[in-house]
Amino acid sequence: MNEITELPNTTTSNDLIVGKGVSFTGTAVIPNRAIINGIFDGELTARELIVEVAGQVSGTIIATDVDVKGVLGSTVTCSNLLTIHATGSIEGTMEYGELSIQRGGRFAGQLKQK
């Protein structure tokens, strides 16, 4: 039986969803949210990036807000709030406006506040 992951109930036609078990390699420009529960490798520009617990993102990311519950290994430019949840892990170079790391959240790399 396939496991169904509950998605935010406010998804719009301007969102990108990479589901669990799905891999995407390439470039994506998303007007609203990119919700990653699978694997994304490439260049991503979005208003908001949400990396779910099963999500893995690598590449170059530009977003207003970044919310990490999974794995993010990238160069990230986040103009507003970068949040690393207890299950989240980031390795790379991060530029951010504000930073929030929950207990258990992990970061290795370089941080630079805008």
* Residue 83 to residue 9: CA distance in whole angstroms: 21
**Under DSSP, is residue 10 helix (H, G, I), strand (E, B) or coil?**
coil
Per-residue confidence (pLDDT) for residue 4, from 0 to 100: 42
- Tokens at 49, concatenated: 């990036």
**Cα→Cα distances 59→1, 55, 74, 75, Å:** 32, 13, 5, 6
- Residue 56 is which amino acid? Q
* Residue 52 to residue 75: CA distance in whole angstroms: 18
End-to-end CA distance of the chain: 46
Give the CA count within 13 Å in the CB-facing half-sphere of 63: 29
Q: Are 66 and 83 in contact (CB under 8 A)?
A: yes
pLDDT per position in the chain (114 positions), as tens?
Answer: 444 444 555 566 799 999 999 999 999 999 999 999 999 999 999 999 999 999 999 999 999 999 999 999 989 999 999 999 999 999 999 999 999 999 999 999 999 998
Per-residue confidence (pLDDT) for residue 74, from 0 to 100: 85
